[in-house]
Amino acid sequence: MARIAVKGAESGLSGIVNAGTGHSYSFNDLMSLFEKLIGKKIRKKYVPSPIPTVKETRADTSRLLRQLNFRPRLLPEVVQIMHQRVLELREKGDI
């Protein structure tokens, strides 16, 4: 989000720009990514949501790409970057 905000401000773009990836991911998709990274199965417990939730949302990011020439990172890449950072912090003893 920060990269998009900076790029938009630098370009002088005004108006509404969707800042999603154009892809939707389920909870199970996210858990599968984590399982692949750590090489273990994650025990999941499914419980009803205590509040009404949106089942799926996907932003139309065509303006983001067209006017800012910006393509957001997809969830698998972001999860990989976060995992690498955690490993680095753990190696340094920071966590």
- What domain range is 14 assigned to? 2-92
Label residue 41 left, alpha or beta by phi (over 0 means left) and psi (-120 to 50 means alpha).
beta
In DSSP notation, 5-34 reads HHHHHHHT--S----S-S----HHHHHHHH
pLDDT at 71 over 90: no
2 or 42, higher pLDDT: 42
46-69, pLDDT tens digit by residue? 998 888 887 777 878 888 888 888
**What is the total count of domains within the chain?**
1
Residue where the block lists tokens 């955690």: 86
pTM: 0.62
